[in-house]
Amino acid sequence: MNKENHVVESHHAAAQQHENTAKSHRAAADHCSKGAHEACQQHAATALEHSTKAHEASKLAHEKSKMPVAVGAKL
């Protein structure tokens, strides 16, 4: 796998975690608007977990993006 593919995959992984976070936040908002506060709290907690993972994945992708690699080098 070359650096470009590895970096692209890192960014895709971060994006997926951000999408999971947004989905959980939307579910929490939906439950809160219906007065289902226990379900709201559960989805909010899940959103926080995804957010933490998204942050870590974003930092990793950022670090991989700035790593210099010689042309044609394989990781």
What is the model's pLDDT at position 2?
Answer: 55
Strand partners, 74: 2
- For 31, half-sphere exposure in the C-beta direction (CA atoms, 13 angstrom radius) is 15
pTM of the predicted model, to two decimals? 0.78
**pLDDT tens by residue, 3-54:** 568 888 999 999 999 999 999 999 999 999 999 999 999 999 999 999 999 9
- Domain boundaries, given as residue ranges, for the chain: 3-66
- Pair of tokens at residue 23: 């989905």
Strand partners, 2: 74
**Residues 47, 25 contacting (CB under 8 angstroms):** yes
What is the model's pLDDT at position 72?
Answer: 56
Strand partners, 15: none
What is the model's pLDDT at position 20?
Answer: 97
pLDDT band at 1 (very low <50, low <70, confident <90, very high): very low
